[in-house]
Structure formats: C-alpha cells, structure tokens
C-alpha cells in the first residue's frame, strides 16, 4: 500500500515539528512527519535541565559556526527570536531570563512540546511514530511525486521531502547519521561531524582534580582568539560548565585550553592590597578567600602550589609571577571530550554550500530540504540552536507553501 503526502518530514524534533506546523498554517497540503521514536520532541524535553532554553534575547549570525558563515543570515532575519517569543506569549507560556539573555520556561520544557503539538494538530499534520526509515529513493520525471520513503516496510511518496533528523548528539534519544546518509545519497557533501558543546576529559596527570567534583567557579576560557566567560565545573571525568562547553566548539585535538581562574581581578593586585594590612596572613588563607578552598588545598597537597605556608610579607616578585601563571594562565590539556553521549549538539553536517540559504532546499535536487541541526550550522550555548531550528524550519515551510500556490 502506498501513502501519499505533498510533504514528508523525517524527524519529530524542534525543527521538524515547527516546519510541519508552519506549512500547515497555509492549508491545503497533506503533511506527514515520520519519526523513529516513541514520542515527539524528545530532545526538547531534555534541554535546559528540563526547562528548555528556547531562544535568546540577543541573536545574531556571529553566534553561529559554519564553514559558510553567511548562510544563517537570511533565515535568522526572516524569523527572529522575537517572532518565537510572540508565539510563546500567545500560548501563555511563562518564561524567565537567565544570564546572557537566555530564555527558559518557568514550568517545563513540555510547554514547548505542547505548543508544537497543538499547532501541528490545528494544521492536521499526520505524525507517525516508531517509523524506522528503510530507504529514500528519488522518483524521476514526475514533479508531483519526487520521492519514495520506505518506513517499516511501507512506502510513502511525496513531492517535498524535508530532512530534520538532527545530528549525532545524545544517541540515547535516537540520534543517528540518517540525515547525512540521505544527503550523500543525493551527492551533497558532509562537513565531518564531531561532538559540540561538550565537556572535556582529563589526561592522567590531571586526574587529581577528580577530588574536586562538584566545585565550580567563574573563569575565562580561551582557544586562540576566542574567549568565553562563564562558570567552569570540575567533574569526576573532566571539566564542564558553560565556559567549557562554549570553548569546546573552537578546540582542536592536542590543543590546550587557556583558563583564567580569577578573571575579575589580578592575583598581584589582590596580594599587594592584602599584604598592606595583613602581612602575616598565610598565602593559602588569602587565596582561599577568592578561590575555592578545596582547589587551593589540592594544589598544596600535590605540590602545584609550594608557597602556601608563606606569609604575604614573604611573597617575592618571582612568587607573584608563579601565582600569575598558576591562576591566570592555566594551560589545561584535555585528553579529549566526552563525545556524543553528553554533547548538546553536533558540529559539522550537511554542507550548506549545496543548500539555498533562503529556502533550505538542495540546490541540485528539487523538493529536497534540510533544516535544523543536520546542517553544518552550530550555535553557541544559550538558546541559539533552538532559534536556528525555528528559523530554518520557517524558511523551509514558507518556500514549500509558496511552491504549492
């Protein structure tokens, strides 16, 4: 038996559901969403600690990484963060702002999934779950029926096929390379993917820091000219927290991450000022006032800090230089990252040089579209990847709706 829809979308995540709903707003078209999971929006529900960081107040192309950096401009301009915020308000979803313009649901990420599901229902979108995609084939010489998708042994045909399969991050939620394989089948190259927005792991000689698991502090983390300020968290496997996740996008294997553990003041000024009125204070006491005490104690225990018992009056210029290097110029050499298991998103993906930035359609394959994370577009931590899902989905939906007129 053959099932026909004008548009089939593979993937019931943020981009796929939003695209389906937006196409449906224009009416007339039959839209089917196929997904391998048991329920829709699985990654949405896990995001933002279960509260979904659905966008950011400050969104610009500079917040995105891509081999083709201009690609995001058109879509982001045509459906902005304010457009999605208006939709959130229309549904009466309470939200709040955290640091750096990040917007989260007050109640639960389920509110965003409910919004998308309601809009899909109003648009009469047919959502088919537990659909294992067996194959995708082009159908030649028929502008109304361009593709055949086989799922669970059943054939589905369509005029428009939208790939919203996401990347490889969080495989426990059903991530797979399906979208990349479909692109390659149609001669569209893939920028090699890797885990993105992901914690670092320790080399053997840094495993002493496992004793600090749960300790966090505000740092500057940098690779090359890229610097991020934010919290860093010691874990039993490595370094995590927003600053580490952000800089992971720019890090290359065997490259050090430069970390300033005291970014808001210099240790030289601090010791000099403290020395003036408490010359007999021990250095370890002074350091514990501005850095986590457990970190200072661990440095002393493992002889990474040998000055701890000195008084401030005994600290020399050479000692201050050593402290500067220890605190402001830590060169952390990661063993690697935790990989896709804990990565927020995937860096790399479908080469955007082969995709229209206005419509998300493949340049050489009429009716084939790619949206969301499957593309070589990666946003910073802070709601930017969701905004790319909304914006790219909108651009695709608008193009499909207009092509049906």
Q: What stretch of H or E contains 263?
A: none
Distance between CA 34 and CA 44 in Å, rounded?
Answer: 17
For the chain, the average pLDDT equals 95
My answer on whether 185 and 203 are in the same domain is no
My answer on whether 328 and 386 are in the same domain is no
My answer on whether 189 and 54 are in the same domain is yes
Backbone angles phi, psi at 129, to 5 degrees: -95, 170
CB 233 within 8 A of CB 239: yes
Backbone angles phi, psi at 160, to 5 degrees: -120, 135
In a domain, 264, yes or no: yes
Tell me the β-bridge partners of 239.
200, 234
Residue that is written with structure tokens 């009716």 in the block: 367
Residues 195-241: tens digit of each pLDDT: 999 999 999 999 999 999 999 999 999 999 999 999 999 999 999 99
In a domain, 16, yes or no: yes
Q: How many CB atoms neighbour CB 60 within 10 A?
A: 12
My answer on whether 91 and 169 are in the same domain is yes
In a domain, 19, yes or no: yes
pLDDT at 116: 98
CATH number of the domain where residue 57 is located: 3.50.50.60
My answer on whether 210 and 265 are in the same domain is yes
My answer on whether 216 and 286 are in the same domain is yes
pLDDT at 13 over 70: yes
Query: 287: helix, coil or strand?
Result: helix
My answer on whether 356 and 398 are in the same domain is yes
Please, which pLDDT band fits residue 28 given cuts at 50, 70 and 90?
low
Q: Of 294, 316, 337, which marks where a domain is finished?
A: 337
pLDDT at 143: 78
| Domain ranges, residue 290 | 199-337
Q: What stretch of H or E contains 150?
A: strand 147-151
Q: How many CB atoms neighbour CB 79 within 10 A?
A: 20
Of 18-32, 124-138, 216-230, the poorest mean pLDDT is in 18-32
pLDDT at 168 over 60: yes
pLDDT at 98: 93
Query: Number of structural domains, the chain?
Result: 2
pLDDT at 307: 84
Please, which pLDDT band fits residue 405 given cuts at 50, 70 and 90?
low
Backbone angles phi, psi at 387, to 5 degrees: -60, -35
Of 90-94, 105-109, 179-183, 303-307, the poorest mean pLDDT is in 303-307
Q: What stretch of H or E contains 144?
A: none
In a domain, 99, yes or no: yes
Q: Of 286, 305, 337, which marks where a domain is finished?
A: 337
Prediction pTM value: 0.94
Residues 318-366: tens digit of each pLDDT: 999 999 999 999 999 999 999 999 999 999 999 999 999 999 999 999 9
Distance between CA 178 and CA 11 in Å, rounded?
Answer: 10
- Pull the structure tokens for residue 359: 């419509």
In a domain, 342, yes or no: no
What's the DSSP call for residue 282?
A: B
Tell me the β-bridge partners of 257.
332
pLDDT at 403 over 90: no
In a domain, 176, yes or no: yes
My answer on whether 174 and 236 are in the same domain is no
Please, which pLDDT band fits residue 253 given cuts at 50, 70 and 90?
very high
CB 381 within 8 A of CB 99: no
My answer on whether 211 and 313 are in the same domain is yes
CATH number of the domain where residue 322 is located: 2.40.30.10
My answer on whether 85 and 159 are in the same domain is yes
Average pLDDT estimate for 138-142: 89
pLDDT at 174: 85
Distance between CA 160 and CA 168 in Å, rounded?
Answer: 24
Residue 80, C-beta contacts closer than 8 angstroms, at least 6 positions apart: 59, 391
My answer on whether 267 and 319 are in the same domain is yes
- Burial class for 311, CB neighbours closer than 10 Å (0-12, 13-18, 19+): middle
Query: 226: helix, coil or strand?
Result: strand
Residues 47-103: tens digit of each pLDDT: 999 999 999 999 999 999 999 999 999 999 999 999 999 999 999 999 999 988 999
Please, which pLDDT band fits residue 144 given cuts at 50, 70 and 90?
confident
Q: Pick from 403, 348, 383: which is nearest to 76 by CA?
A: 383
Pairing of the two strands 31-34 and 2-10: parallel
Q: Of 317, 337, 357, which marks where a domain is finished?
A: 337
Task: Provide, rounded to the nearest whole percent, the portion of the chain with pLDDT above 70.
Answer: 99
My answer on whether 221 and 119 are in the same domain is no
């Amino acid at each position: 038996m053959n099932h026909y829809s004008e548009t089939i979308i593979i993937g019931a995540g943020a981009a796929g559901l939003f695209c389906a709903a937006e196409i449906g707003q224009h009416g007339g078209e039959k839209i089917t969403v196929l997904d391998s999971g048991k329920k829709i929006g699985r990654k949405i529900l896990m995001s933002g600690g279960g509260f979904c960081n659905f966008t950011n107040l400050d969104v610009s192309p500079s917040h995105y990484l891509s081999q083709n950096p201009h690609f995001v401009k058109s879509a982001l301009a045509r459906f902005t963060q304010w457009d999605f915020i208006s939709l959130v308000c229309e549904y009466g979803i309470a939200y709040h702002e955290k640091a750096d313009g990040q917007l989260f649901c007050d109640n639960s990420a389920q509110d965003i999934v409910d919004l998308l599901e309601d809009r899909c229902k109003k648009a009469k979108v047919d959502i088919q779950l537990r659909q294992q995609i067996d194959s995708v084939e082009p159908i030649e010489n028929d502008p109304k029926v361009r593709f055949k998708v086989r799922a669970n042994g059943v054939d589905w045909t369509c005029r428009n096929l939208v790939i919203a399969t996401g990347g490889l991050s969080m495989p426990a939620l059903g991530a797979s390379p399906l979208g990349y394989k479909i692109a390659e089948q149609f001669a569209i190259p893939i920028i090699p993917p890797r885990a993105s927005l992901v914690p670092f792991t320790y080399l053997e000689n840094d495993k002493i820091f496992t004793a600090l698991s749960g300790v966090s502090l505000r740092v500057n983390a940098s690779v090359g000219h890229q610097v991020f300020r934010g919290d860093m968290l010691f874990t039993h496997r490595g370094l995590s927290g927003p600053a580490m996740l952000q800089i992971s996008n720019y890090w290359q294997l065997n490259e050090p991450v430069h970390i300033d553990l005291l970014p808001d003041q210099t240790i030289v000024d601090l010791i000099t000022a403290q020395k003036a009125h408490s010359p007999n204070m021990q250095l370890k006491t002074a350091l514990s006032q501005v850095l986590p005490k457990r970190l200072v104690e661990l440095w002393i225990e493992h002889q990474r800090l040998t000055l701890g018992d000195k008084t401030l009056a005994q600290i020399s210029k050479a000692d201050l230089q050593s402290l500067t290097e220890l605190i402001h110029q830590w060169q952390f050499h990661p063993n690697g990252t935790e990989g896709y298991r804990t990565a927020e998103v995937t860096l790399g993906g479908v080469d955007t040089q082969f995709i229209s930035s206005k419509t998300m359609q493949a340049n050489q394959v009429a009716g084939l579209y790619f949206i969301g994370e499957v593309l070589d577009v990666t946003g910073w931590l802070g709601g930017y990847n969701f905004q790319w899902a909304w914006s790219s989905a909108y651009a695709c939906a608008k193009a499909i709706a207009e092509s049906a007129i």
